[in-house]
Amino acid sequence: MSSPSIYGASRDGYGNALLRLAANPDVVVLEADLGKSTKSCHFRTKYPDRTISLGIAEQNMMLVAAGLASSGKIPFASTFAIFTERGFEQIRNGIARPGLNAHICGSHGGIHTGSDGSSAQSIEDLAIYRTLPNMTVIHPSDDLSAEELTMQLVNLDGPSYMRTVRNKVQRTYDEITKNNIKIGKGNVIMSGDDVAIVACGVMVSKSIEAAKILKEEGINVTVIDMHTIKPLDTELIDSISSKCKCIVTAEDHSVIGGLGSAISEHNSKTNLVPIEMIGVNDKFGESGDSEELFEIMNLTTVDILNAAKESMARK
C-alpha cells in the first residue's frame, strides 16, 4: 500500500466536500462552464439533477444562486476567481446585501495560476469581497483544509467567498489535525516567541519552510494559518502581537486590502507592533511558471525569512 500524499490542491478539497455535502438534499451546485477546473464536475457526474450549468454567464449564475438561497436551498457556485469579479454587482446586491446563504468558490486564484497570464490572475479578489458586509472570506492552505472549511459552510448563516488554487502544495494538515480547523479561527502551526508569521493559502507552506530555516539560526517563530480573512481572528492576533512583538504577513494577493491589510487595520487600534507584509506590491502579474513568478514578485521562502528579520530589527 502506498503512503498518503503530502501534497494537495485546495480545488480538489472543494470538489471532495461537495460530494460529501450531497447528503444534504438542499445543497445545489452551480457551474459557469468550468466545472472540470473547479472540481464541481464530480458532483455533476453523480448528481446531475442537482447541478445547474449556466455556461459562460457568471452574472446570471450569481443571481440564480441568490434565487435558490432565498427559496431555502444552499447553493455552491464556482468559477475562476477572476471571473467571479464579473458578477460583483450581483454578488453585492443579490447575495451579500440580503445576507443569503449562498457560497461562491473562486478557483485558480492569485499569481499561482502562472501560465494563464496576468489577465487571469486575481490578485485583488480577497480585498474586494472583504469589503462586503455579511460576507465571510476564506483562503485555505491545502486540499484537506479546503474540504473541511467547505463542509462547515453549509451551516454558515450568510454568504461566503472561498478562494482555491490549481496547483498542489505541501499539505499543512493531516487527517487528524484537519479536525482542528474552524471558520473564523486561525490555526497555530508552529509556536515561538521571536516573530510571528501569519499566512494564508499557498503561502502557508512557504512560511513553514522559512520558520524551519530561522529555527536553525536560533530564531523561534510562530506560524499561523489564517485561512479566514473575514471575520479575522482578532483574539489570536492580539495574542501573538503581545507575545512576539512583531509580525510578518504572507499572501499570494495584493498587499492592498488582503490579509496584511486586515491585520494592520486591527493592530492600528490595539497593538502598535512592527508588521512586514509579503504580497503582490501594487502591480499586475505576468505569464510564466508559478515558482518563477513567485521569485519575480518577491513571494519566496527567502523573502519571508528576510521580512521576519526586518520586523525583528524594528521591535
For 32-166, strand residue ranges (E) read 51-53, 74-80, 103-107, 136-138, 160-163
Q: Which secondary structure element, helix H or strand E, spans residue 128, and what is its range?
A: helix 125-130
| Contacts with 266 (C-beta within 8 Å, 6 or more apart), sequence order | 232, 234, 237
Residue with cell 506560524: 223
Residues in the chain: 315
Under DSSP, the state recorded for 3 is P
- CA 7 from chain center: how many Å? 17
Q: Which of 90, 70, 69, 77 is nearest to 43 (CA)?
A: 77
Contact in structure between 298 and 280 (CB atoms under 8 Å): no
Catalytic positions are 58
